[in-house]
A and B are shown apart, each in its own frame.
Chain A
Amino acid sequence: MRTLGKFGKYGGVYVPETLMPALEELEEAFATIVPGDEFKSRLSSLLADFAGRPTPLYHAKNLSDKWGAQVFLKREDLLHGGAHKTNNALGQALLCKMMGKERVIAETGAGQHGVACAMAGALLGLQTEVYMGEVDMERQKPNVFRMQLLGTTVHPVKTGSKTLKDAINEALRDWIANLENTHYLLGTVAGPHPFPSMVKHFQKIIGEEASAQIQEKIGRAPDYVVACVGGGSNAMGIFAEFVEQTSVKLVGVEPAGAGLETGKHGAVLALGSFGCVHGMKSLVLQTEEGQIQEAHSISAGLDYPSVGPEHAFLKDTGRARYESATDQEALAAFHELCREEGIIPALESSHALVGAKKLAQGEAAGKTIIVNLSGRGDKDLHEVMKHDK
């Protein structure tokens, strides 16, 4: 490989030998095809005309008045498909097409990445198959149906915790067996190199737009940028542009589930330990002897027992900090945004809103906060109704 994709001690390439030829091929394609004019022009027209970029940066005045800080929402919920996942799915599906592979596979938790892949696959004529944990299929039924409508085969994963982590294992196994004609369209900034760097590359447009938009609106950089973190792709997407702007504080919000003290959470950056899973070194929720544990969150998209390696690195270097929000806090923020701004957010993004609210009511009073509203909440209505009863 050209590099091992390390972020300090995190990241790297930790996969069976059988997968190495595919990663080498992908790294090569990422380095040669993606920077080329043909790829860039095809992707940018897809993002503009098919997906609806740029997404707005919206000044949420009602929330701002209520919370006591200037809150801006980066409206990835308005992207085609209903979440930021479309940015990465279009990028990788186009890359797959230009690599001459006719089949894509993907894992999905909440189903948003699966839907994004299904859309991109239908558009570009790729045979698309998605692995999804049985538990998640139950929690996110509408997304399963959406994928099927778009011509994608959804494979239920019945092993282990039957959620995202096991769906990734199954997708990796499929890839190992079929790497000659198949691209694995991984949905987050995790996994072996080059995925963390490649997914960040396709998501960094969020931060690039937000940075230009806030300059236009207030003539300066924001004080805070806040995003939810499961695997961490929407957060990395909006952080990337601001990492060099050192006056901007970067805050990730992890799922605290039923509470950090209960053991039922997905707060990997807060409570995980150094380990190796899914092809990378990162922080991991694990037992003392190294069995990977299950994460818990009301939001299927944040239900992951590890995290993108660059987040672990940003935490260690102090460039970003990571807070957490419980299921209950996320639900409250979900309702608050519905009522105050007329926007139904995804439960994932509701975690970011909790983080922003706590900042606004504390150290960030009167400051400017950009929240990455990474997805819309239509997929979560069933889950929210269950809790509202």
Chain B
Amino acid sequence: MISRDRYRAKFRALKEAKRGAFMPFTVLGWPDEETSFNIIKTMIESDASALELGIAFSDPVADGPIIQAAAHKVIESGYTVNQALDLVARVRKYNDDIPIGLLVYYNHIMAMGVEKFFARAEECGVDGVLVADLPAESSDEVVSIATGNNISSIFIVSPLTREERLDKIVKHARGFIYLVSRLGVTGTDERDASRDTRLTALIASIKKATELPVLAGFGISTPAHAERMMASGADGVITGSKIVDLVAKADPTNMEAELSAYLKSMVSALNSVKV
């Protein structure tokens, strides 16, 4: 059991208020530490339900071009994994209630040592860790250590995940299920609406296997996408590439206002749908 389960508390509150969850993502330290902190602060102030924060990796195979470019920029700037974790601690100090998830690649955990990584993550106020390249088969190496440090192991389910794999995944999963809502990597490419409707059956089968909330990510960038995911039965959405793209293209003097307007449009779309 996890001693202070911020995910559980937040998802319960959302359910009672009949609201969908909005989980924005950004890369820690991008484009620089101060701006990164301001982006995250804007997310919290725009009423994000939870945060998903990525540690920049040199070879992020699950990510598309937008997040990859941001990650490479962070690495080139000399920003370290330890600095990224310190930034998480700073965010936790700023807000003690919002659930914080980390998106990491396994090599960073191995480099620090599994035990040390999760101990450090707990110290920094992390609630959940999704290891992008650690499928359920190989996850025994970290799940018990994560749980021992009060950290939920987050797992991905994709449209091609078959039932016996789903059983394996939900056995380890805590916090929420990260539903990859379309094949491919992260990004803002056009969505195929007919495929979205087929997600309904998948979400129903996940819900049969677990009580955890299902959040849809990958290619979710507009309020309309969010509404479609909710209509398919999801409990909320995760948006990453769109945020990184928006910040990259925004006029720096006006970035926080633009970002805030976008985040609020997503939150309001998720609030207007009855869960």
Give chain A's interface residues, CB within 8 Å of chain B.
1, 4, 12-18, 20-21, 159-160, 165-166, 169, 172-173, 176-180, 274-279, 281, 284, 286, 288-292
Contact = CB atoms under 8 A, between A and B. Distances in A.
Given A17-B158, A18-B156, A277 B59 contact: yes
A173 B185 contact: yes
Given A18-B183, A276-B106, A276-B110, A160 B134 contact: no
Interface stretch (B11-19, B75-83, B240-248, B265-273): B75-83
Contacts of A173: 61, 64, 184-185
Interface stretch (B143-151, B159-167, B206-214, B249-257): B159-167
Contact of B110 (A172, A179, A275): A275
B260 to A, nearest CB: 31
A177 B59 CA distance: 17
A287 to B, nearest CB: 8
Nearest to A23: B135
Contact of B155 (A17, A165, A166): A17
B135 A276 contact: no
B58 to A, nearest CB: 4
Contacts of B111: 275, 286, 288-290
Interface string B66-89: 001100100100001110000000
Contacts of B80: 289
B169 A277 contact: no
A30 B81 CA distance: 39
Contacts of A14: 106, 133-135, 138
Given A16-B135, A20-B165, A289 B108 contact: yes
Nearest to A15: B133
Q: Lowest 7 A-B CB distances belong to which pairs?
A: A290-B111, A177-B184, A17-B156, A21-B160, A16-B62, A290-B107, A291-B58
A132 B137 CA distance: 31
A18 B180 contact: yes
Given A16-B156, A169-B61, A173-B64, 7 more contacts: A17-B155, A17-B158, A18-B180, A176-B185, A277-B59, A289-B111, A292-B107
Interface of B: 57-62, 64-65, 68-69, 72, 75, 80-82, 105-108, 110-112, 132-138, 155-158, 160-162, 165, 169, 180, 183-185
A18 B160 contact: yes
A interface SS class: mixed
A15 B132 CA distance: 7
Contacts of A292: 58-59, 107
A4 B68 CA distance: 28
B45 to A, nearest CB: 31
Given A279-B133, A291-B57, A292-B107, A17 B72 contact: no
A20 B110 CA distance: 21
A13 B185 contact: no
A103 to B, nearest CB: 14
Contacts of B157: 17
A291 B55 CA distance: 11
B183 A15 contact: no
A179 B108 CA distance: 27
Contacts, number: 116
Contacts of A275: 107, 110-111
Nearest to A289: B81
Contact of B59 (A16, A17, A165, A288): A165
25 contacts: A12-B138, A14-B133, A16-B61, A16-B62, A16-B135, A18-B62, A20-B135, A20-B137, A20-B161, A20-B165, A21-B160, A159-B68, A160-B72, A169-B61, A173-B64, A176-B185, A179-B183, A275-B107, A275-B110, A276-B105, A278-B59, A286-B107, A289-B80, A289-B108, A291-B75
Contact of B135 (A15, A176, A178): A15
Contacts of B162: 21
A291 B81 CA distance: 9
A290 B81 contact: yes
A284 B160 CA distance: 31
A347 B136 CA distance: 41
A277 B133 CA distance: 9
A275 B161 CA distance: 27
Contacts of B62: 16, 18, 176
A169 B161 CA distance: 22
A289 B117 CA distance: 11
A328 to B, nearest CB: 29
Contacts of B61: 15-16, 169, 172-173, 176, 278-279
Contact of B137 (A1, A16, A18, A178): A1
A288 B105 CA distance: 15
A177 B155 contact: no
A62 B180 CA distance: 61
B161 to A, nearest CB: 7
A216 B100 CA distance: 67
A274 B107 CA distance: 9
A166 B158 CA distance: 24
Nearest to A273: B111
A93 to B, nearest CB: 23
Nearest to B165: A20
Given A21-B160, A159-B72, A284-B107, A13 B64 contact: no
A168 to B, nearest CB: 8
